[in-house]
Structure 1
Amino acid sequence: NEVDIVPLAQFCLERGYELRFIEQMPLGPKHEWVRDGMVTASEILAALGERFTLTPLDEPRGAAPAEVWAVAPDATQPGGRLGVIASVTNPFCGACDRTRITSDGQVRTCLFSRTETDLRAILRGGGTDDDIADAWLGAHRAKPRAHGIDEPGFEQPDRPMSAIGG
């Protein structure tokens, strides 16, 4: 993948697209993620920095997952913006306000969580809109402060990213 970083960025900049690179996360279907084999945000930025002039944007990131850089124009591309999502090496958990609902009605408060809140059962059991909202809000309030990837007991979630949505 490393050899594709600069060509992909060049392709997007030439067309006015704002590309986001994301570190590989432990969300694969076979639980084969190995941190040592991951291309880190630092490595991505180093590769981009060898080809482009990057300036970090001085904008509040808020709950957005990407850190964004301005790319100075040059003779081969018009400049633009590129982002990097460093969810493993530079987690943004403290500012994350996201939850996801899966196609089968489960609320997940973190991509890396093994815990889900079942909204489908509430809906099918005749629950009201308020019941559903209360369950979702309760899940969000119980959202962990960090994903725990660096903890010794971390276990990859059972659902792959394709089954979570995100």
Structure 2
Amino acid sequence: MTPAPQTRDPLTPPLLDAQGRTMTYLRLSVTDRCNFRCTYCSPASWGGKKDLLEPGEFERIVSVFARMGIRRVRLTGGEPLIRPDILEVAGRIAAVSGVERVAITTNASHLERLALPLREAGVSQLNISLDTLSEATFRSISKQGDFASILKGIDAAAGAGYASLKLNVVVMRGVNDAEVPALVSYAHARGMTPRFIELMPFGQGTPVPTAELVERLQATGLELAAEEEQQSAATAGPARYWRAPRGLVGFISPLTQNFCGGCNRVRVASNGDLRSCLGGRAQAPLHALIRGGATDTELALAIRGALGEKPEGHRFTEPGAGASLLSMMGIGG
């Protein structure tokens, strides 16, 4: 594969991958542990990585990426809010020069306590995972977790003044697909944008194609109009949006509407391993470099080298693809 084009100074933007796509969005896992065990994400056998990064090491990595052109950082997991130092991590990253937006993806179980402190630390956007409004269905998806705490956390976030709140729903046939209309109403009532995600082949369950979900929602009488002016994938991420009477409804379709062509994302796992693609294994051990005394220039060269191996797209739809993938928890979302 052709290496990513190099600039004279590896720390100077733009940060390009092997396909010439510009990377502006860093998904940074701060832990691969979770207080839930959702069937599609975190297998019971997953024990977690050892030697997770410290707040200063996360800050160092983000500062290098920011110098290279990263402008948006999302903190992921596992469940990022189970880190006792999450407010310090978020605050350090929000203060990095060049970072324009810090977001967190969370299961909301700790948001009743942390929603306001996180916003005050500099987090401007929350993506909250909620796959069902039924506690019984929740128990079929995850044997662990306090369902009531999720709902309280969501209400706390809705009242905390975030610039953006999104409700992420992984749709599984025969499990929660009948709840899609109710989840739209639930989200819009709280000023949130619901987003329905096609299940990816990391764990158990059967996906439901986006086109089918749109048809189902329209069949219930919900008026949906496709947004004529979608933001580009390079700035807005993989979701495609439809307008409903009370707000937007988003769909993320990695299987049926591949969005890899506009990819602007790079991932770093909680132990500092850079992964250039959600569906691949090319990586760079940034943690080892940092702890070995690497300069910012050496880190930048390692980052550009890994992105030089980033494939054109994932291969989730190929037969047997799921067998070669790490769990979602292991990758970091």
Please report the TM-score for the alignment, with normalisation by the length of structure 2: 0.44
**1:48 maps to 2:217:** yes
Q: After the TM superposition, which residues 2-81 of structure 1 pair with which residues of structure 2 at under 5 Å, given as runs?
A: 2-28=177-203, 32=204, 37-51=206-220, 52-57=222-227, 58-63=229-234, 64-72=237-245, 79-81=246-248
Q: Distance in 2 between matches of 1:128 and 1:146?
A: 31
Could you say what secondary structure the match of 1:99 adopts?
A: strand
Whether the aligned pair in 2 keeps the contact of 1:112 and 1:156 (CA below 8 Å) is: no
Aligned pair partner of 1:143 in 282, 302, 310: 310
* Letter of the 2:243 counterpart: A
User: Which residue does 1:76 correspond to in 2?
Assistant: none
Whether the aligned pair in 1 keeps the contact of 2:199 and 2:207 (CA below 8 Å) is: yes
User: Which residue does 1:98 correspond to in 2?
Assistant: 265
Coordinate RMSD, CA, aligned: 1.8
Q: Please give the per-residue CA displacement for 1:105-145, whole angstroms capped at 9, x wherever unaligned.
A: 11112211133221112112221111111111222232100
Unmatched runs of 5 consecutive residues or more in structure 1: 73-78
> Deviation at 1:20?
1.1
Q: Distance in 1 between matches of 2:183 and 2:177?
A: 10
User: Which residue does 2:286 correspond to in 1?
Assistant: 119
Unmatched runs of 5 consecutive residues or more in structure 2: 1-175
* Letter of the 2:327 counterpart: P
Structure 1 residues 96-105 or 9-18, which shifts more? 9-18
> Deviation at 1:62?
2.4
* Letter of the 1:120 counterpart: H
> Deviation at 1:153?
5.9
Moved over 6 A (4+): none
Q: Distance in 2 between matches of 1:157 and 1:129?
A: 33
> Deviation at 1:59?
2.2
* Letter of the 1:53 counterpart: E
- Relative to structure 1, the CA distance from residue 162 to residue 54 in structure 2 (aligned partners, 3 Å threshold; closer, same or farther) is same
Q: Distance in 2 between matches of 1:22 and 1:127?
A: 39
Give the fraction of aligned pairs with identical amino acids, expressed as a percent: 36
Whether the aligned pair in 2 keeps the contact of 1:67 and 1:85 (CA below 8 Å) is: yes
Whether the aligned pair in 2 keeps the contact of 1:24 and 1:38 (CA below 8 Å) is: yes
Whether the aligned pair in 1 keeps the contact of 2:198 and 2:207 (CA below 8 Å) is: yes
* Letter of the 1:134 counterpart: L
**1:131 maps to 2:313:** no
User: Which residue does 2:40 correspond to in 1?
Assistant: none
> Deviation at 1:152?
4.0
User: Which residue does 2:321 correspond to in 1?
Assistant: 154
Whether the aligned pair in 2 keeps the contact of 1:26 and 1:112 (CA below 8 Å) is: no
Could you say what secondary structure the match of 1:38 adopts?
A: coil
- Relative to structure 1, the CA distance from residue 66 to residue 49 in structure 2 (aligned partners, 3 Å threshold; closer, same or farther) is same
Q: Distance in 2 between matches of 1:25 and 1:141?
A: 25
Please report the TM-score for the alignment, with normalisation by the length of structure 1: 0.83
Whether the aligned pair in 1 keeps the contact of 2:279 and 2:325 (CA below 8 Å) is: no
